[in-house]
Amino acid sequence: MSQDTATYDAASEFHDRASLSQKIQATLHKYPWLSSAFVLLFASIIFSFFNENFLTPSNFSLILQQVAIVGAVAAGQTLIILTAGIDLSCGAIAVFASMTMAKLVQGSPGEGHPVGWAIWLAFPAGLLVGMLGGAINGFLVTKVKLPPFIVTLGTYNVFVALTLTLTKGTVPSIEMDPFLLTLGHYVNIGPFRITTGVIFMIAMYSVLAFILRYTGWGRHVYAVGDDIDAARLAGISVNRVLMSVYVVAGLIFALSAWIVIGRVTVASPNTGSDLNLDSITAVVIGGTSLFGGRGTIFGSLIGAIIVGVFRNGLTLAGVDLYYQLLAIGLLIIFAVSVDQWIRKARK
Amino acid sequence: MSKAPILQAVGVTKNYGRVVALDGSDLELFPGEVLAVVGDNGAGKSTLIKCLSGAEVPDEGQIILDGVTVSFKRPQDGRHAGIETVYQTLAVAPALDIASNLYLGREIRKKGPLGSVLRMLDSSGMRKGAKDHIAALGIGTIQNISQAVETLSGGQRQAVAVARAAAFGQKLIILDEPTAALGVRESRQVLKLIESLRDRGMPVILISHNMPQVFEVADRIQIQRLGKRAAVVTPKTHTMNDVVAIMTGAMTVDKKDQALTPVR
């Protein structure tokens, strides 16, 4: 035993002699959101040099409003990516849910249904549609054993088609139900003027962060993404966890649709087309590993804000839209490289 | 020395299509002993162990645990009955910490409404429990229980897996080639763990290819050959060469010379 301890001490001494880069690597390994928080801070400082209006409460309020939708969808996307999956259909689910809510409230005068549903029926129906969409993805992933990438690539097209069938390709410009517009109201918090949608999004993140951190389900989500075989052998019902993740994510996408309606005041089949990939961008820049099991939910919020800050800051600095895209692209590659580097640390 | 076996397999048969993996194999594990199961590739030792732990359902034969005939359908059934298995592929989640891994799938909730309504986990309680379990096995080299498992060496990871089995195994522990992926020093740690399990009175079934290790820790050695039990010997009565000879069919042992009863 004493000999064992001696060898171990030698090993730990060796460990302490780690170089600076190894120490950074180890720290980032423990707190994966640190690098994205650092990027956010750094970018904010740089942009404030180019335009004095950048670091103002009103501008930051604007950025928050702009990222509320992507941020909300990214919350659901994070859950799925934590299980080593991916959801390309999230935006399509959100739009389909929003169209369902709007259509049910509005009714279809031309088709013999002049009176719409009551909002307390239509709204839950929209949420249910989102969960059902997630359940279809979950079923195909767990029972048919298809890779999530392929499943959601397929269901993405299915949900877009369903949305177009529902609307016949038109944008229903109707007077929305006041409840559906709840998340578009403005509130003043100190010098900030933000929408209720932003508050709702942050509340959603807080709830998810609590669940992931403090409940058994949260721990199982990480375990399944980390090593699915180990999770199964440890007695976790892997398929049940995966299924629940897809359903909860579907619910989050439908709730995001509520923010969408509040922001654009109509339910339009065209609003969510960028959400599918933008949400993945936010999650990845937020430090969550595409290989699963690693990352934090608040990292994705930071990731969404980073994208918003880059778009806004580059616009204020007078940079062309093309170069904004270029910057976001480089940021994604940077984020994934950092993730790979961190993972390499402890193999 | 007339102890009843804690676990007994009688005439267990398992076919995979037309391949006969187990052809009426027997096994007895007595309280407080380490039983090693050895055999050439395809001799049926893995299948036998899977039938015992519930990972496979035998086609024929009986498995008797503590005097009661059991029929496991899933690994969870075996676990609920008190049989813990440590698999060759380390069944730990690398990014989770030691305490989380120890309680993975069996998390403890906080007492009161925090646990029942908010479903919060008792993290500090689990950390303390994990510390106790690790200490009880004399695993001194693990200092920080909140360390991610991936920061541990292979031997320490295997130690976490063994500690988990020891913490929750009510009746017995099965170790499926626990040292196959480990270095010399790390294997030594695991062998020590096996000895400390035996010292605590926990019966252990050890599957291994490594003869010196088997001869070091096993009380009795069961040799599988062609899906059957060829013989049961002890490290005292037979040499490694004998065991290899029995494994390959070059030698047979008379029933009366075998160690079919407990030796401890």
- Cβ B175 vs Cβ B168: under 8 Å: no
Gap from A227 CA to chain B (nearest CA, Å):
6
For B110-126, give one letter per residue: b (16+ CB within 10 A) or e.
beeeeeeeebbbbbeeb
Can you give the pLDDT at residue B257?
84
Q: Is B173 helix (H, G, I), strand (E, B) or coil?
A: strand
Is residue B175 assigned to a domain? yes
Which of B205, B251, B257, B204 has its CA nearest to residue B225?
A: B251
- Cβ A329 vs Cβ A284: under 8 Å: no
Q: B27 lies in which domain range?
A: 7-257
Which of A223, A260, A209 has its CA nearest to residue A72?
A: A260
Is residue B1 assigned to a domain? no
Gap from B104 CA to chain A (nearest CA, Å):
6
| Cα A280 from Cα A328, distance rounded (Å) | 12
Location of structure tokens 């029926």: A121
The whole-angstrom distance between residue B58's C-alpha and the CA centroid of its chain comes to 19
β B204-207/B172-176 pair status:
parallel
The whole-angstrom distance between residue A57's C-alpha and the CA centroid of its chain comes to 24
Instruction: DSSP for B90-134, please give it.
Output: --S-TTSBHHHHHTTTSPPBPSSHHHHTS-BB-HHHHHHHHHHHH
Which of A262, A245, A305 has its CA nearest to residue A63?
A: A305
Which alpha helices (DSSP H) does chain B contain, by range? Answer: 45-53, 75-80, 98-102, 113-116, 123-136, 154-168, 184-199, 211-217, 240-248
For B229-259, give one letter per residue: b (16+ CB within 10 A) or e.
bbbbbebeebeeebbebbbeeebebeeeebb
Number of structural domains chain B divides into: 1
Give B229's strand partners: B224
- Indicate if the pLDDT at residue B59 is higher than 90: yes
First to last CA, chain B: 8
First to last CA, chain A: 27
- Indicate if the pLDDT at residue B53 is higher than 60: yes
Gap from A241 CA to chain B (nearest CA, Å):
11
Q: Which two tokens stand for residue B227?
A: 């899906």
Rg (CA), chain B: 19
Can you give the pLDDT at residue A8?
46
Closest residue on chain B to A212 (Cα):
B120
How many other C-beta atoms lie within 10 A of the C-beta of residue A121? 12
Can you give the pLDDT at residue A113?
65
- Cβ B57 vs Cβ B236: under 8 Å: no
Which of A69, A83, A227 has its CA nearest to residue A142?
A: A83
* Mean pLDDT calculated for residue range B111-136: 87
User: Chain B residues with CB-CB distance to A under 8 A?
Assistant: 75-76, 79, 87, 89-96, 100-101, 104-107, 109, 118-121, 123, 138, 140-141, 148, 150-151, 153, 185, 188-189, 192
Question: A5 to chain B: which residues are within 8 Å by CB?
Answer: 140-141
Higher pLDDT, A271 or B10: B10
Can you give the pLDDT at residue A208?
97
Verify whether the Cβ–Cβ distance B150 to A346 is below 8 Å: yes
What pLDDT tens digit does each residue of chain A (347 aa) get? 344 444 444 444 444 556 788 788 778 777 777 888 888 998 899 999 988 889 899 999 999 999 999 999 999 999 999 999 999 999 999 999 988 888 888 776 666 666 778 888 999 999 999 999 999 999 999 999 999 999 999 999 999 999 988 877 676 655 678 888 889 899 998 889 999 999 999 999 999 999 999 999 999 999 999 999 889 888 888 999 999 999 999 999 999 999 988 888 777 777 777 899 999 999 999 989 999 998 999 999 999 999 999 989 999 988 888 888 898 899 889 888 887 887 776 54
Q: Is B205 helix (H, G, I), strand (E, B) or coil?
A: strand
Question: A233 to chain B: which residues are within 8 Å by CB?
Answer: 75, 87, 91
Q: Which two tokens stand for residue A249?
A: 């994510």
* Mean pLDDT calculated for residue range B1-22: 87
Residue A124 sits at the vertex; the CA angle it makes with A120 and A126, to the nearest 5 degrees, is: 120
Which amino acid, one-letter code, is at A347?
Answer: K
B102: CATH: 3.40.50.300
Gap from B133 CA to chain A (nearest CA, Å):
17
Among A43-47, A82-86, B37-41, B115-119, the minimum mean pLDDT is found in B115-119
Is residue B2 assigned to a domain? no
**Per-residue DSSP letter, A268:** -
Question: B105 to chain A: which residues are within 8 Å by CB?
Answer: 220, 231, 234-236
Query: Is A227 in CB contact (< 8 Å) with chain B?
Result: yes
Question: A210 to chain B: which residues are within 8 Å by CB?
Answer: 118
Read off the pLDDT band of B35 (50, 70, 90).
Answer: very high
Query: Is A233 in CB contact (< 8 Å) with chain B?
Result: yes
β B19-29/B34-39 pair status:
unpaired
Which alpha helices (DSSP H) does chain A contain, by range? Answer: 2-16, 20-30, 34-50, 57-82, 90-106, 119-142, 148-167, 196-214, 216-226, 228-233, 238-264, 275-285, 297-316, 321-345
- Cβ A70 vs Cβ A279: under 8 Å: yes
- Indicate if the pLDDT at residue B1 is higher than 50: no
Q: For residue range B164-220, list pLDDT tens digits in order.
A: 888 888 899 999 988 887 778 878 888 988 998 898 889 999 999 889 999 999 999
State which fold the A30-345 domain adopts. Answer: ABC transporter involved in vitamin B12 uptake, BtuC (1.10.3470)
| Cα A308 from Cα B206, distance rounded (Å) | 58
| Cα A180 from Cα A166, distance rounded (Å) | 19
Gap from A71 CA to chain B (nearest CA, Å):
25
Can you give the pLDDT at residue A336?
83
How many other C-beta atoms lie within 10 A of the C-beta of residue A336? 14
**Per-residue DSSP letter, B5:** P
